[in-house]
Structure 1
Amino acid sequence: MPEPSDYGLRPNSLPHADFSPFGGYPASSFPLYIEDKEPDDYLHNPDPVLDEEYDKNRFLYDLKTMDSRAMAGLISFVVLFVAAMALFVLFPVLTFSGILNTHEPESYEVLTHYHYPLLSAIRTSLVDPDTPAEARVRDSQRGEPWELVFSDEFNAEGRTFYEGDDQFFTAPDLHYDATKDLEWYDPDAVTTAGGTLNLRMDAFKNHNLFYRSGMVQSWNKFCFTEGIIEISARLPHYGNISGLWPGLWTMGNLGRPGYLASTEGVWPYTYDLCDAGITPNQSDPDGISYLPGQRLNSCTCKGEAHPNPGVGRGAPEVDALEGEVSNGNGRVSQSLQVAPYDIWYMPDYDFIQIHNNSVTTMNTYTGGPFQQAVSATTTLNTTWYERGNYTHNFQRYGFEYLNDDESGYLTWFVGLDPTMTIRSTALHPNGNVGWRKLPKEPMSIIMNLGISNNWAYIDWPALIFPATMRVDYVRVYQPPGQTKVGCDPDDYPTYNYIQEHLNIYQNVNLTTFSAGGYKFPKNKLTGC
């Protein structure tokens, strides 16, 4: 053990002593004097002056000592804050002030400068107030003055015909599959402008079809029974180019045009007997008929669905105009389409009259498995069409009929000139069927512009689109004191039956009556 005096002799021996807690480290590694400095001394030796200075400028000091990760986090927070302020403060302010509304307005056509007050276009009468006074009465083919009971002059600009838009007409949104049309009927293609109803066909794709066109129908809105219907129209395109299929026609209200489930078994029946005529195919093995039988016949069993049991019901069709071009000449086909059929679709021509053989002839087409057509064609003037180097005029098309079983008649006309007349006696019993009747059903009005390979040869290279059929007016006349308008008359009701089978009248995708969830009524002929 060293002597105490030895430490005095070795003044430098103390710094080299091992004072480490665990030993094995030189004493010089642990400073024992205040003059010795280490990097973390500031953590253990607070300086009030420096600490106060640091607290005052903490943000700047933190920025100086910030690493890249911390800097990225700070930038992200700043961006998020600015974005939130722009979204919830700046954008609403700019939108409200209108500064952001810098887009150019779309081009449009001013149809009228008249501002209609609310509900001002609602008609309170079936007769359009715009109908001229001289058109309120029209002489019938029998020389009797008949009264105007309905008219639509289409003078109100910008009318639309979507479901529920119009009092009298609806433009359906559908493909007319019954005749395999090449166009889609779209309400957008129907409007009023310049005092006419315009049905426009365009050559652009719509619902995977390459053409879009328009149809209007008064189904379940306006119907008439007996009288004169007169429609003034200018036909589309040229009068010497084949392809388009303009139509002005009527059909019984129990069938809705274009809704195949509603027309199955009722179109074009006009029959009131209980025999082979009500059965599928007319019980004829020769293939004269492919119809499923008269659904609403006169001998349905008790308790079966029927508008008025004991009366044969259907949806016959009368065509005021089906436009065609044959051998370079425009022609109108005017027809009565009925079921059940005569043998070889041939009525008794002894009771059919052609009024002017120089312009009108019996149609060579008399029918097929789905309808019998008693039809005549009349040559038209090329000035009654939309296109051509001449004045474009409107012409009147229509028909007049009374449906009495013995003295009834149906006469078509072009202009004021009658073209063909069918007497009710022309549809007498023939083969295994009995009397067919001139339509007793309430008839709705249909106007359309179609195109189909099932109608006529289509001269594709010569067709020009758009093509527009314009209708100036629709007028209906009836004998004085014999007004029969409405789609639900007492003797031929339709309303309750339609309401009870609403599915087939509203779902255009249903193609058969059974697809709507219904069955054909049983009848006494085949067994109740």
Structure 2
Amino acid sequence: MSPPESPRGPNPHIRLNSDTQDITGEPPRPGTARSTNSVRSLTAPIRPGPSPTMSPGLRSNSSSNSIYHNSNIVGSSEHLLPPSRRSTRMRPFRDESPLRSPTILSSRRSSFDSQSSRDSRIAGPFVSPFDDSRAPSRAGSDDDLNTQTVSEKFNITPSAGLLLFPEDVEKDDYLHNPDPAEDNKRDCDVFTKRGIMNVGSLAVLTIGLLLVFILYPVLTFVDKVNAPEKTPCTNNPLCIAGKENEPLLQNIRRDVIDPATPESAMTRISHDGKKQKLVFSDEFNTPGRSFYDGDDPYFQAVDIWYGATQDLEWYDPDAVWTENGTLNLKFENFVNHGLNYRSGMIQSWNKLCYKGGHLEASISLPASGEVSGLWPGFWTMGNLARPGYLGSTEGLWPYSYHDKCDAGITPNQSSPDGLSWLPGMRFPACTCKGEDHPSPGKSRSAPEIDALEGTVIYLGPGETNPVGSISQSYQIAPFDIWYQPNYDYVELYDQHVTEMNAYKGGPYQQAFSGLTNLNNNWYNGKEYQKYGFEYKKGNDGFITWYVGNSPTWTLQAESLGPNGNIGQRTIPEEPMGIIANLGMSSSFATIQVDKLKEHYPAIMRIDFIRIYQDEDGDMELTCDPKGYPTTDYIRKHPGPYNNPNLTNWASTGNSWPKNTLMDGCEA
């Protein structure tokens, strides 16, 4: 028995275009069918009534022979074919939820399914095996039934005459809906804001690409071609100009005698007729040498204000260099450190010391011998004191005393008349046991011998006919009464050019000084002259000063003998360091400011420095001679030797050594 027939629902509406006109006419009333005369109708009128039942097998066969079960179909050039059974993947509806059913086939539904029964076996014209039994989600919605939804469900093969009415346009397909009216509104004028922006952007982009890929490589290549050759000094501000290609360690002195020293300068004859040999020389032939601390094995340019003589300049290492075979010390009007001038000073302190022998230097003095004010110097000082560091010099400079204790070692020499303002000897021979002393039992100090201190004298009346002059002196303490030495043991070799200095000293030093006139051609690099002195240490020693190869005057040790309540002063036993400087101070000479302006910058040029000593004598080239060491004491007391702002011994934090004469202790 066949199952009861189910009433047929209304036929589905098929819209090929998105126009609102229903191409199948109005929806039929239940149980009725309405025919249409439109050639675009895709279905024939369906008569009401039961549909014959078919077995599944029969239904399958009939389906394969005809697309529609009703053979009375109005002819049409538009054909709708169900999709092939081989196609198992279909696109979802546009509004289908992303949360799909467990199976694709069950989740898809036909727009032509029955609205009244899930189990309808009525075979409509669009029945498909892909249909499911659920109620349609778009039932009764014309807006949701269009060519897109149909094409998603069925394979619509385009054929000729598919679009029979071009005036029926789709609302969502502007590309395939030509509109001449809208096309006429468009033009190709680029001179609009948008056109200018587009063209301008393209131009900027093009120019940028040209700059990056053409101009930049060209500029880079040209820059490399024109760039100066790189040297080791290119990016090193501390590199010495002119020494870029110097082999490593080749600029280090490997011998105390400069290889550039001529053979003729290897020996000389001393004042007493003995042969002396060269033990040290520096010819300064290497240009661009630096004298900052640690840059040179024998000399250092200091960075201080020389407060001991109230100088007007600041000593700066930048003012010292080598060039054209000379060592140069430049004095210039250069405001720095609160001072108006800058100049240079080199010292061999604690690097190069000697004891006994002959020291000389070939020098062209600065500026002019006719202008007063500059203070060039070439001199020596005992290594236990560092020049310019007043904390180290107090109690040592300018003492040179015998190994006994008397009034000469006491403050002010125990004299109430103001003869001496010195604090007394710091290291007398009679320091108490256990006190700080470099070599207990010996008098230690820092005497000073000057090879030259430049000034000007006037040969005519009323300060006329000026010529250059130098003071060659020995600074010493303790002092003779009224600073009067025994001149019976002083010798002048040419009194036409050399005379004893009328200045004999003051409360800080006694000065044995001879003045020698100079040739004014020996200035400003025109010509050079040698200046030096020779000395023999001890109580029976002497000092002889030289200009060129000629001695100017000699001081015998007997001139320094006991006098009043003081004992024997000695020719220095201390190792002596070398100093060269170019200063200015009103305490030394009259400063002719206006005339000096014509000579700035003034340069003191030194051609060489040499030291000679006896071949068979006990002279030494060291800062630690036998019985008179210095370096160990300096190492143990770094403060006063490295800080120029410590201006007295008390400020160094060290105590003044006690002695048996003043403190009643045992030696």
Task: Tell me the TM-score range normalised by the shorter chain.
Answer: 0.7 to 0.9
The structural deviation recorded for 1:489 is: 1.6
CA contact (8 A) 1:246 1:469 kept: yes
Q: Distance in 1 between matches of 2:367 and 2:469?
A: 13
> In the alignment, is residue 465 of structure 1 matched against residue 595 of structure 2?
no
1:402 paired with 2:519, answer no
After TM superposition, the score normalised by the length of structure 1 is 0.78
1:360 is the counterpart of 2:494? no
Aligned mate of 1:293, from 420, 424, 428:
424
Helix, strand or coil: the match of 2:555? strand
Alpha-carbon distance in 2 for matches of 1:251, 1:237: 26
Identity of aligned residues (%): 53
- Letter in structure 1 aligned against 2:418: G
Q: Is 1:370 paired with 2:501?
A: no
Q: RMSD across aligned C-alpha pairs, in angstroms?
A: 2.5
| Larger displacement relative to structure 2 (120-129 or 333-342) | 120-129
SS of structure 2 residue aligned to 1:320: strand
Q: What are the equivalent positions in structure 2 for 1:52-451 lying under 5 Å apart?
A: 112=242, 115-271=245-401, 272-327=403-458, 328-386=466-524, 392-406=526-540, 408-451=541-584
Q: Return the letter of the residue paired with 2:499.
A: T
For residues 114 and 212 of structure 1, what CA distance do their matches in structure 2 show? 28
Scaled by the length of structure 2, the TM-score of the pair is 0.62
Pairwise CA distance, 1:103:
11
Secondary structure of 2:388's aligned partner? coil
Match of 2:92 in 1: none
Deviation sequence 1:341-396 (CA, Å, 0-9, x none)? 00111110001111110000000110000000000000000010017xxxx11000
Distance 1:289 1:451 in 2: 25
Q: CA deviation at 1:250?
A: 0.2
Q: State whether residues 538 and 572 of structure 2, in contact with CA within 8 Å, keep that contact through their aligned partners in structure 1.
A: no
Q: Residue 511 in 1 paired to residue 641 in 2? A: no
- 1:524 maps to a residue whose letter is T
- In the alignment of these two chains, the number of paired residues is 432
Give distance in 1, aligned partners of 2:382 and 2:245.
38
Structure-1 separation of matches of 2:582 and 2:341: 11
Give the drift of 1:111: 6.6
Query: What amino acid maps onto 1:289 in structure 2?
Result: S
Matching residue of 1:501:
637
Q: Give distance in 2, aligned partners of 1:98 and 1:343.
A: 82
Query: What is the Cα deviation at residue 477 of structure 1?
Result: 0.3
Mapped partners of 2:299, 2:595: distance in 1: 32
Counterpart amino acid of 2:384?
A: L
In the TM superposition, what is the alpha-carbon distance from 1:481 to its structure 2 partner? Answer: 3.5
CA distance in 1, matches of 2:407, 2:221: 75
d(CA) in 1 for partners of 2:241 and 2:376? 25
Give the conservation status (yes or no) of the 8 Å contact 2:521–2:527.
Answer: yes
Letter in 2 for 1:211: Y
The Cα of 1:98 is off from its aligned counterpart by: 9.9
Whose Rg is larger?
2
Deviation at 1:403, TM superposition (A): 1.3
Structure 1 residue 144 displacement after superposition: 1.8
- SS of residue paired to 1:526: helix
The aligned residue for residue 9 of structure 1 is none
Q: Is the 8 A contact 1:111 1:193 kept in 2?
A: no
Amino acid of the residue matched to residue 476 of structure 1? Answer: I
Q: CA deviation at 1:115?
A: 2.9
Equivalence for 2:612: 477
Looking at structure 2, the residues matched to 233 and 415 of structure 1 have their Cα atoms a distance apart, in angstroms, of 10
Distance of 2:223 and 2:261 partners within structure 1: 49
* Counterpart-to-counterpart distance in 2, 1:236 and 1:260: 27
* Partner SS state of residue 563, structure 2: coil
Structure 2: 5+ residue stretches without partners: 1-170, 173-215, 459-465
Asked if structure 1 preserves the Cα contact closer than 8 Å seen for 2:539 and 2:568, the reply is: no
Deviation at 1:273, TM superposition (A): 2.0
Cα separation, 2, equivalents of 1:516 and 1:384: 43
Contact 1:352 1:422 in 2 (8 A): yes
Please tell me the residue identity of whatever aligns with 2:486. Answer: D
How far is 1:150 from its partner?
0.4
Partner SS for 2:662:
coil
Q: CA deviation at 1:480?
A: 0.3
Task: Point out the structure with the larger helix share.
Answer: 1
Structure 2 counterpart of 1:39: none
CA contact (8 A) 2:539 2:569 kept: no
Distance, in Å, in 1 between the alignment partners of 2:627 and 2:221 is: 63
Structure 2: which amino acid aligns with 1:331?
S
Summarize the Cα distance change of 1:155–1:111 in structure 2 as closer, same or farther, 3 Å threshold: farther
CA contact (8 A) 2:268 2:276 kept: yes
Distance in 1 separating the partners of 2:473 and 2:496: 19
